[in-house]
Amino acid sequence: MAKHMTWTLQAQILLVAHDSSPPSDDEWQAWLREFERCAPSAQAMLVYSTGGGPTSSQRKELLAVIARLDRVPRVVIVTSSNLMRGLATAVGWFLAAERRPTMFAVDEMAKALEFLKVEPAARPAIKAELARLAASLTFVTKAAV
């Protein structure tokens, strides 16, 4: 089975990588369970995408999970994909301002980490882990993480 997204929790930051395709429903359900489990205590969430993201039905499921949570970590999406930017904007329409993701271009990773208040000493390890996650996906273009 193709793998289009992967994630881990490192230094209280949820790291998520998407390739250029939407995740399978099985991948998405596993991610939602992990997100719901980790979100209340995570410091932040950093999503890196080469263009893939959730389908319409998956976005609805995500909104339902977010609605159940008392606390959602600060979320940053790093991508150069106009499609992914549009998907994130569409999700944001249904969220309170403090729960909306913030977008950064791939070449703005340093700004994204600063926005998330990641300690400077932890940034190289976060970037390395995100690159490892992205490289593990099925249809990855060259990651610029």
What are the extents of the domains in the chain? 5-135
pLDDT at 79 over 70: yes
Q: What is the pTM of this model?
A: 0.89
Mean pLDDT of 26-53: 94
Q: Which CATH architecture has domain 5-135?
A: 2-Layer Sandwich (3.30)
Segment 109-114 mean pLDDT: 97
pLDDT of residue 144: 54
114 — pLDDT class (breaks 50, 70, 90): very high
Report how far residue 81's alpha carbon sits from residue 86's, in angstroms, rounded to the nearest whole number.
9
